[in-house]
Amino acid sequence: MKLKDVCKILEAEPVRKVDSSRWRSREVASCQASDLISDMLSFRGPGSLLLTGLTNIQVIRAAELLDFVGICFVRGKRPEPEAVKLAEEKDIPLFATPLLMYESCGRLYAAKLPAGTRKEASPIA
């Protein structure tokens, strides 16, 4: 699945008006949904798409550190200006969908996008 397919499925719009050739053909390997930064950071797998309702600059940091392919903000949320600025600097595509988190996940899962891999939670020795 490519980013342009994700946009279609989620009825999402790019947040920044950059020329679409910059992102539309990028391959989305998997997806993860989270509103908590540390949870995002517990996932592995570059090329993952992040779905989140969190809009502050730290979401972009997480995407940068983990090499996410893009971020889609759910339920009509728009990222804060500093977040957009950092995304621009780091070349991370941002999208916004009016859909809720639950519906967004459901649609992408139904379209066969796999969940991002995650270390199995195991008790601390």
Task: List contacts with another protein (CB under 8 A).
Answer: 19-22, 24-25, 31-39, 41-44, 46, 51-54, 56-59, 61-62, 64-67, 75, 82, 91, 99-110, 115-122, 124-125
Cβ partners under 8 Å of residue 38, min gap 6: none
Residues 73/79, Cβ–Cβ less than 8 Å: yes
Residues 26/2, Cβ–Cβ less than 8 Å: yes
